[in-house]
Amino acid sequence: MTATPRDSRVSILFVCLGNICRSPMAEAVFRHLTKYDTKSSSPLIHEVDSAGTGAYHAGDEPDTRTMSTLEANGITHYSHAARKFVSDDFQTFDYILAMDDDNKVYLDRMRARLLKRNGIEDSKLGKVYLFGEFGGKSKEEEVIDPYYGAQDGFEIAYEQMVRFSRGLLKRIEEGQQRLDGA
């Protein structure tokens, strides 16, 4: 369900490969910045979630290094169970934010197939973006998967999540219903 002039609140889905490192971290950071699910939450945000393009870790909690990085930065009340991205997510979320080019390509292809097979109007499906487009040092800035690395990779990812989330929130607050400028 995409945002309409009647309902300017937006729904956001963060997507990485396994949904245990980057996308849950992005979800937690964005929820924290917008005070999602609190009495003082942003009136512009309808829903925030995360998913993975693969089902490798479906049902698992976030990686312990993700959680320790969040906790070290004051985000202590976050829980999540990994899930796989499904085609219905295109109709549920306005903005689908991929952590890297590989996941963006996967999501773009899935969206194109959905449009072609089901004859759904383009405006009825959420749009796919590289998360780095919002506050990145360049439009192509990716969040490198820290899964196979050390703790510092998670700290770098956290810094990116904060920067990108602030950029995304700024664009939403500026009243851009469609982040592509249309």
Asked if the structure places residue 181 within a domain, the reply is no
Domain count across the chain: 1
Is residue 5 domain-resident?
A: no
**pLDDT for residue 182:** 44
**pLDDT tens string 7-65:** 678 999 999 999 999 999 999 999 999 988 777 677 889 999 999 999 999 999 999 99
Name the nearest CA neighbour of 25 among 161, 146, 128.
161
The domain spanning residue 75 has which CATH number? 3.40.50.2300
Q: Is residue 125 one of the residues assigned to a domain?
A: yes
pLDDT tens-digit readout, 106-118: 999 999 999 999 9
The whole domain housing 18 covers: 10-173
Specify if 3 maps to a domain.
no
For residue 34, the model assigns a pLDDT of 92
Would 180 be classed as within a structural domain? no
pLDDT, tens digit, for every residue of 134-177? 986 777 899 999 999 999 999 999 999 999 999 999 999 887 54
Active site residues: 16, 22, 145
Three-state SS for the chain is: CCCCCCCCCEEEEEEECCCCCHHHHHHHHHHHHHCCCCCCCCCCEEEEEEEECCCCCCCCCCCHHHHHHHHHCCCCCCCCCCCECCCCHHHHCCEEEECCHHHHHHHHHHHHHHHHHHCCCHHHCCEEEEHHHCCCCCCCCCCCCCCCCCHHHHHHHHHHHHHHHHHHHHHHHCCCCCCCCC
Within a domain: residue 132? yes
